[in-house]
Each structure stands twice: as structure tokens, then as C-alpha cells.
Structure 1
Amino acid sequence: MVSEHSAVPARAQILVASNRGPVSYTLREDDTLDARRGGGGLVSGLSAIGSDADALWVCSALGPGDREAVRRGVGEPGVLMLAIDESVHSDAYNGIANSVLWFIHHLLYQTPLEPVFDEEFRRQWGSYESYNRSFAEALAERAGDGATVVVQDYHLALVPGMLRELRPDLQIGHFSHTPWAPVDYFRLLPDDIAQQLLRGLLGADRTCFLTQRWADAFADCCRDQLGDDALTGTHIGVHGLGADAEFLRERAHRPDVAERMATLREQIGPGRKTIVRVDRTELSKNIVRGLLAYRSLLHSRPEWRERVTHIAFAYPSRQDLAVYRDYTADVQRVADEINAEFGTADWTPVILHVKDDFARSLAAYRLADVALVNPIRDGMNLVAKEIPLVSDEGCALVLSREAGAYEELGDDAVPVNPYDITGTADALHRALTMPAGERLERTARLSAAATALPPHRWFLDQLEALRRLGEATDAGGDRGPGSGG
């Protein structure tokens, strides 16, 4: 159900800003709106502060249902949805955030041909500025005196600086959920754009990252582009988002998951081990090389033929961009080739699903003997944390050293260079042959590390750090310099 008038506080004391909000709307055939609540760390975090905390989530209308909800004045308590011009949003989201900033931070460009920063890029960058300004103005208008604002991710990198100019009284944080590019790669950006991005984030009291590696890369870029004293006034924080163990374990034992486990067991066949991966078909997730490594395993170690099945869930992502559609087709093509080459009457080597089904993903988690997480580059990768938590018999984790999660889980994972197909095949063999006792011990340690900072604590820690900074400033300090937890 949706209400005709959202309970949006006139002046909030805790504000979150993100491209995607905690609710989305779809227009039914009878012309009514259906509201669906999302999940994730921010939703858990806001729930943890309590319903009386005078909080506001500012987000963008992302689809026709969202825009119709704004037009009708429909909303949810504590949510302000901005109906930014569709063309502006498309330029900012697809043209800049997902086609430039994402590519920079994940090192995805084929540099002999791209990027090309021409007049069209500059036009789209103007939309990115406008998009960020809309958020900054909405936050400035809705924030109470001395309020705390936590801005999320690369979509809104300019907001902290813009908001600082409008409301210097606010405590502002920014959190980057992606990696941060190293200096030499960040230099691909035009100098003025690179400096504008950095100054935007440096408008925050705290700019935060998932790992120390990404935080250090950001600091290096600031010094390279803006000088040795660039960080004066901004603290850098690190908060490694963990998995929600209580929710995952409860959800993984509901009847719909049991039904999907039965179906998967039938598809796998009796007595076979399982290698499980669950990803979006995002270029950085490296699904194709993972499949090629599995094919290499079957070539080099024929004893695994008909004794192991690769469960690969590759859910479509950003299909409005041609490069993502092509990549999704490549995933399907390689899976089909493996099945054609090795499959038998009663063994399908790769069970590939491309339709998102959370219950089926949890079923695969529970059945996993080996979890394959081999991104080219990843801010964190929660799948690497979730599978060990949910796996019924414990699982061996094959983990890319380029995943943010490697910083926390690397000691108990089987590490891989994500570009090394042969090395990944060898790692899969090592994981498949790991003794049961060792596998269980590693799983226990992985689970403990994975839950060290659960979503609600992750969010509350950021608020507490901003509160302490505010108190220090009130006591006569300043906004920096330094790096802090």
C-alpha cells in the first residue's frame, strides 16, 4: 500500500542521499501504484536508529512508476523522491556514472580505443553536475540546523562540495561503495574533471571507503591532483560492510528455498560436487574468465568430468548499455560451448540461470562446496561473505585478490589473480580437494570475518564518527586534517 502524502519531515536531523532509494513504484494495469521496499545496508542502518530519529532519505525517481508516484504526490514515510528530468538523469547515470566513473574505478577501459572525452562527454558532464546540484539543493532545504548528511557513492560525488557551500553548518559524510582508481588510471580523466570530483568529495567532513586500499588510492589521487595539503579539512574513514547473518540464515531456510534446492539437486545429479557463483552480469565480475577457468579444469584434470557441476547465476545488469548486453551474450555463449563439449546424457557441466531469483541464489549458497568469486576489481563483494555463512556443509572460497573482501577474507580463501585462467583452474582443483576438516575450519573463520561489521552497525558507526567530529569542532577544533576510522 502507498500513502497519498508521505510523512517527510520539514527539517530532518539525519539524512541519506542515494541514486536509488529504499522504495520503488510500479504502475498496475488498474492505474494504481504498487510500492516495493528494498533491502541492503542502508535500509538496515536507518531501521537501527529508530522510527523517531527524524530521518529522511533523498533519492531519485528511476522509472515510470516512480515518476508517476511523484506526480501524484504519493510517497513513503521518511522518503523524498526527486523527479529529475529524464534526459538529465540518463546522461548523469548512464553517460557519466556508469560509463565513465564506474569504468575508471574498475579499470575497465580498452585504452587503445577508449575513453574519448569529447564534446558529448562535456555535455553529459553538465547533466551530472545538474543532477548532483538537485540533490544538494534538496538536502540543504530539508536538513535541520547542524544535521548529519550521509551521501552515497559515485553517482553523487559532487554533492558534498555543493552542499558544503549551501549549508556549512552540516556534518557531511560520503561513502564510496566502489574501489578507487590508482593515480595513473585516475589520470585518464581530464584534469579539470578529476580535480572537480576530488574537491566534491573533499567537501565532506569524512569521505569513506570499504577498504584501506581504496582509501589510500583516494588520498594518493588527491595529493597528485591537488597538492600535498589537499586532505586538510577532510577525514578519511574505512568501514568494511559485512553480511547480515541473522537475516540470511533465516531466509535461507524458508520453504521456497527448500523447493529450489530440490530442483537444483535434481539438475546437479547425485554425488557431484558444486562450484557456485552468483553475480550480476557486470563487466567487472569476470564471469567469462570464471567459465573459461572451469573449462580449463575439465581439460587439464579429466577426473572431474561428471564429478562436478558449476552453478552459475548471472543476473542481467545495465542492459540499456550495449557493452553489457554483449557481455551477457558472451556469458551465455561460453556456458553453451562448455556444455556442448563436455556434457553427457545425465550431466550438464554448467547450470546457468540469468533470471534473478533470490531464493534460488540462497539455495545455491547452501549447496556450495566451492564458491567462486573472481572479480577483476570490486569495492567489497558481499557474495564472498554470504556463501560461507549459508553453506550447509561449509565451502572453500576461491577469491580474487582484487576484491575488496580479500582484505578481510584472504587468509582463509584460496587466492587467485583474476586474469590468470590456468591459475584459477588450479585454485578450483585445490578448493575441490580441500579436506573436509580444513574446509569447515576455514568456513568458520570466514563467517566470523564476514559478520564483523553487519549493515546496521556499519551505518551507525559512520553516524557516530560524524557526531564525534562535530563535537570536536564545537569544542574549538576544525574539520581536519587527517585520516580516521
Structure 2
Amino acid sequence: MALKREPTPAGAVTDLFDRLHELHLDAGEPGVRQIATGIGRGVLSYTTVHNVFRGPRVPKWGHLELIVDQLGGDVGTFRALWRAARLAELALPAPSEVEDARQLVPHSAYRPDVPAATTRAPVVGRDSDRQFEFVVVMSRIPPFGAGDGRSKHNTGISHTLRRLVVERRGVWVGWSGLADAAAGLESASGMDAMAIPMSGREVEWHLEGQCHSTLWPLYHDAIERPEFHRDWRDTYRMINQRYADAVAHVAARGATVWIHDYQLQHVPALLRDQRPDLRTGFFLHIPFPPPELFTQLPDRDETLRGLLGADVVGFQRPASAQNFLRLCADLLGLRNGDSSVHVGGRTVMVDAYPVSVDVEAIERDVGRPQIMRRAQRIRAELGNPEIVIAGLDRLDYTKGIEQRLLAYGAILADVQTASNPLAFIQVATLSRERVARYTSLRERVDRLAGHLNGSYGRMGNPVVRYTNQPLDYDEVMAIYRAADVMVVTPFRDGMNLVAKEYVASRVDNRGAIVLSEFAGSAAELDEAILVNPYDADDLKDAILRAIEMSPAEQVRKMKAMRSWLRAHDARAWITAFMTSLDNVSRTTL
């Protein structure tokens, strides 16, 4: 590892480095000796060491305190010094910033005795005094461009919610996606947005740490082992408080607030503490885990109580709602109804609201001449194969990308001939590249795609067209139009809108979809070929069934799925959730 010289903070951090040098870490293996030497000389800061040893990118040879133990150091003393250093680096805002923060929240909500680790950065900016009757709160503000807004984000839930915010003349509260970016209220492409600031360290500990390395794996059946660190949890609380403060500032009296997803599970309760007049809903887009997994979470009670600050708590599937109800009873001792929890003199409604897609817009767009021409060119670029198979995913270990490519390789070994009957388009958009397990996954998928092309492809006729590049809206629609078979095989997914988008796009009622039984959409698209993605033989057989499906069977199945989807589109999802929120609020406000 190359050492990067940077100034060593004073105070507790310097004490930590001095003590580590005294522990004689340079007696260890070469990698440890290099780190220890850098610490002793003051050329590695606390943050850099944390990034290497305690953050998501943990070397294979273990955490720093384990190394201290292995080399005979005093682990207890080291742990206490490490904790002191962490608190020292959670900087307090300047006095002027504290005064600004006081002006942004009700006096009763400002508590000068809050510890440094939970002090919030102020949220100020242009038109900061404007208030809105409708507020959507999500981790990120969708990065829509100017013009007609046809960016790579123009499908899925962000597009649906953005349209809702614009229609209701509301505001979207979220992070801009850039560390240390300016905070405040801005308008772009017809939508108002309140940007929440996050420093680089907060992005690492809140998003890459608690959200992506603790909650995400835990909520997805612990496919990868979740990591638990107090630093991450402290930062998660602090960021959730920052979001709650911003919403409390921009929401008009009696406004409707819709909070989304696992990054913001504490916000409902924090917001209710400040603004009990608001109608608040929360929707979780990923699965909510069963008790045997959720109870691993160190702040499990706090998380449940955070969600119970909402008037309506929504999930993708009934099983997730039931998991939540059971945990409220078992861990918090609360009295439950079939679809409700009684807490603090209120009734919180708990139910499933399966998210969906804008069927009408997709049907209209796939019929545009430029989309049809691009779909034809895609097939030509692949060598005009008899069957085009496609998978569109974010690169993630929950999506089962390796397993589907291995199943496809097994099929190629059996059926590939000189006539070039098959081609596979696999889009795996990069995400969370700074998290070690995602970097490793990318390397494995890259090698596998290369191996298949090297073994079965021919010059100008690849059997796998593999890309990590994000696609614009038109390209996604063209792939849906070009694909004869769509393969959606996650190990666990809250819903998976790719499956629904593909069905919506099949205006000719042709095509087949191979769908994991562990995706939420499997309960709704029951004419899909359902598969267990953990079973390699089952996955191979399912893809073969889709390839060999007769035109008549394709039409019958696709008509049934498209009919159901039209009646349960994105508008129906919004209406169902908002109706529940309106009804429960009328009885409790």
C-alpha cells in the first residue's frame, strides 16, 4: 500500500498515533509494518487508517484492533483511544452556523445539549423560507438533466416520484450526490429540491458504511455478511436528524410528507418530535427481514421506533409487513392489529403497497420510430441471432448476475452452432465501487463475460454483449424491444421494476420472462417462468423453456401479465398509499 502524506490532526488523534507507535506494530508482517511506520511518522491521518481498516474496504488480513491483539498490544487501551479519536474528528459547526441552525427549526427542537456526534449541519440556501404542502424525502435527489428529462434515470421509481412532486408543486428533499456540495433550496427541470449536505466522511460512514455494508446485506437475507460499527450508526443517526430538520423547515403546516427507504428509517420519529402536525408516510423499497436477521441489528429498537413515527408504514410484500408487525410485538411489546400497531396513543397503519411502473408512458415510448430502428440495429450488432436474451441490472451481489451467465454458458455448450442462434445482452451498471465486495464482484463478472465470448463467440458475433455503462432512456427501451427473453434472477429483491418494465414494453404480446421467485414482482407476474436462482440446473432449464416457448404461449402469457399490470401501474400504487395516509391521518390528527 502506498502511503499518502497528509497532516495529522492534533489532540486525541495524535495521542492515538503515538500510542500505536508504542505498541510496536512495525514488528508485524510487511503490510502492517508499512501502515504502522506511516502512523508513527504522522503521515497517515486517522481518517485514512479508518478507511483502510475499519470502513467497507477491509483488507483480508483483518481489522486493526485484531492486528494489535496479534502483535501483543493492549486492545482495550487501543479501542478507547480509537473511540476518542473518532469523537475528536466529528467536528462541531462554527458558532455562526449554530445560530443559523437555530433559525431553521422550532425553538423547542433545538437542544444545545446534543453531543458533538449528533450535531447537525445547517440546511440553508436560496428561497430557504418557502414552504410546501407536499414533500418527498429520499436519500438522493434524482439527477435529471435539462430539456425533456430523458436521462438514464427516466425509468423506475425516481421518474414516478419526480412527476408526482411536480404535479403537486411539492419539494424533493435529498442529497445531491456530491460530497461537500452546497445545501439549500433550488429548482431544476420544473422541480423544487432541498439539497442535504454531506461531507466525504459522512458519505463513507452513512452510505457506504451503515447503509450499504450493514443494512443492505442484512435486509437481503445476509447473502453477504453485514458489518456492524458504532461509527457508522452514529453517523446514520446524525444524517437522519439532518433530513428531519430540513423537512421540518420546508413543510407547511399540516403538509403531507412521504419518506422513502432504508437510508432514512429514523426520520419519521425524528420528524414527529418536531412537527406532529404533519401527515407522514414511510415506504421501504427493499425487503424487510425476518426477526432472526433483524435482531442482529445493534440499534434494532431505535430503528423500529423510528419507523413508527410515521402514520403509514408501507412495504413491497405482505411478508415484510408481517415481519415488521411481529418485531414490534416481540421487541417493543406493542399491541398489534392485523395491519396496524398501537403506539403512544396513535394507530400506525402497516400494509403492503407493491410499487409499479408507468405502463402508459412505456407503451407509448417503445412505439416511437427511433426506438424501433435502434432495436433493429442492436440485433444487427449482435449478428442477427435467432434469440436475444437480456438482463438489465445494477451491479450488485443480490442480482444473481454470475449465476445467470453460468447458466447461459451451460446452454451455449449444448446448443451453440455455426448458425449463431443466441446472444445475451448483460447491462450491469456500476454502483458502490468503493465497497470492496462490489469491486470483487465486478472482476468476477468481467472475467466470466470474457470467458464466454472467448469460448463461444466469433469475430463480430459476441455471445455476450456486456457493459457497465449507464444507459439513457431510449437505449433501455430499445433493449426491451429487441429482447426475446428477459432474465431477472435476483437472490432477493423488494420488487424489481425491470421485470414490470419489460412486460409493459411488449406491445406485440410476444417475448418471455425468466423471473426469480425471490423477487417481489414474482407474486404479481405469475405467468412468468419462475425460477430458484440458487439452483443452477433449474436456472438453465428455465432459460431454455423461455427460448423454446411457442409464439402462441408467449402471447397468452404476455397478454395476461400486461392486463394485470395496466390495472396495477405506478398511478395505482401512489393512489393506494396516499389513500391510506389520508384516511389514517383524518382519524389521528
TM-score by length of 2: 0.71
Matched, 1:15 2:129: no
Following superposition, the deviation at residue 405 of structure 1 comes to 0.3
1:122-201 counterparts in 2 under 5 A? 122-190=230-298, 193-201=299-307
Following superposition, the deviation at residue 368 of structure 1 comes to 1.7
Following superposition, the deviation at residue 401 of structure 1 comes to 0.3
Matched, 1:78 2:192: yes
Distance in 1, Cα, partners of 2:510 & 2:574 = 29
Q: Which residue of structure 2 lines up, in the alignment, with residue 468 of structure 1? A: 583
Query: Percent of aligned pairs with the same residue?
Result: 29
Distance in 2, Cα, partners of 1:107 & 1:209 = 16
Q: Which residue of structure 2 lines up, in the alignment, with residue 320 of structure 1? A: 434
Q: Which one of the candidate residues 453, 462, 467 is aligned to 1:348?
A: 462
8 A Cα contact 2:286 2:493, kept in partner? yes
Following superposition, the deviation at residue 383 of structure 1 comes to 0.7
Distance 1:8 1:394, change over 3 A: farther
Q: Which residue of structure 2 lines up, in the alignment, with residue 408 of structure 1? A: 524
Distance 1:24 1:43, change over 3 A: closer
Q: Which residue of structure 1 lines up, in the alignment, with residue 557 of structure 2? A: 442
Structure 2 residue identity aligned to 1:397 = I
Distance 1:81 1:181, change over 3 A: same
Unmatched 5+ stretches in structure 1: 27-33, 475-485
3-state DSSP class of the match of 2:524? Answer: helix
Distance in 1, Cα, partners of 2:412 & 2:169 = 57
Following superposition, the deviation at residue 116 of structure 1 comes to 4.3
Distance in 2, Cα, partners of 1:250 & 1:6 = 38
Q: Which residue of structure 2 lines up, in the alignment, with residue 268 of structure 1? A: 382
- Over residues 435-469 of structure 1, what are the superposed CA-to-partner deviations in whole Å (9 max), with x where a residue is unaligned? 11111111111222333333234224322221111
- Over residues 349-385 of structure 1, what are the superposed CA-to-partner deviations in whole Å (9 max), with x where a residue is unaligned? 2121221223332222112221110001011101111
8 A Cα contact 1:379 1:403, kept in partner? yes
Distance 1:266 1:302, change over 3 A: closer
How many pairs does the alignment contain? 450
Q: Which one of the candidate residues 481, 485, 499 is aligned to 1:384?
A: 499
Distance in 2, Cα, partners of 1:362 & 1:158 = 37
Distance 1:151 1:61, change over 3 A: same
Structure 2 residue identity aligned to 1:177 = H
Distance 1:385 1:420, change over 3 A: same
Q: Which residue of structure 2 lines up, in the alignment, with residue 374 of structure 1? A: 489
Please tell me whether Structure 1 or Structure 2 has the larger radius of gyration of its CA atoms: 2
Q: Which residue of structure 1 lines up, in the alignment, with residue 314 of structure 2? A: 208
Q: Which residue of structure 2 lines up, in the alignment, with residue 480 of structure 1? A: none
1:63-74 counterparts in 2 under 5 A? 63=178, 67-68=181-182, 70=183, 74=186
Distance in 1, Cα, partners of 2:418 & 2:559 = 27
Distance in 2, Cα, partners of 1:43 & 1:89 = 24
Q: Which one of the candidate residues 506, 511, 515 is aligned to 1:395?
A: 511
Distance 1:87 1:179, change over 3 A: same
Structure 2 residue identity aligned to 1:307 = P
Unmatched 5+ stretches in structure 2: 1-124
8 A Cα contact 1:298 1:304, kept in partner? no
Q: Which residue of structure 2 lines up, in the alignment, with residue 483 of structure 1? A: none
Matched, 1:299 2:405: no
Following superposition, the deviation at residue 47 of structure 1 comes to 3.5
Distance in 2, Cα, partners of 1:344 & 1:47 = 45
Q: Which residue of structure 2 lines up, in the alignment, with residue 477 of structure 1? A: none
Matched, 1:451 2:556: no
Distance in 2, Cα, partners of 1:215 & 1:123 = 29
Distance 1:470 1:439, change over 3 A: same
Distance in 1, Cα, partners of 2:511 & 2:431 = 27
8 A Cα contact 1:275 1:371, kept in partner? yes
Matched, 1:284 2:404: no
1:56-135 counterparts in 2 under 5 A? 56-63=171-178, 67-68=181-182, 70=183, 74-76=186-188, 77-110=191-224, 114-117=225-228, 121-135=229-243
Following superposition, the deviation at residue 400 of structure 1 comes to 0.3
3-state DSSP class of the match of 1:67? Answer: coil
Structure 1 residue identity aligned to 2:238 = S
3-state DSSP class of the match of 1:378? Answer: coil
- Over residues 18-45 of structure 1, what are the superposed CA-to-partner deviations in whole Å (9 max), with x where a residue is unaligned? 111144689xxxxxxx998954445534
Q: Which residue of structure 2 lines up, in the alignment, with residue 29 of structure 1? A: none
3-state DSSP class of the match of 2:252? Answer: strand
Following superposition, the deviation at residue 9 of structure 1 comes to 6.5
3-state DSSP class of the match of 2:335? Answer: coil
Distance in 1, Cα, partners of 2:509 & 2:258 = 39
3-state DSSP class of the match of 2:398? Answer: helix
Following superposition, the deviation at residue 324 of structure 1 comes to 1.1
Structure 1 residue identity aligned to 2:280 = I
3-state DSSP class of the match of 1:18? Answer: strand
Structure 2 residue identity aligned to 1:96 = Q
Distance 1:60 1:445, change over 3 A: same
8 A Cα contact 1:129 1:158, kept in partner? yes
Distance in 1, Cα, partners of 2:536 & 2:381 = 26
Distance 1:439 1:285, change over 3 A: same
3-state DSSP class of the match of 1:283? Answer: coil
TM-score by length of 1: 0.85
Q: Which one of the candidate residues 358, 373, 397 is aligned to 1:244?
A: 358
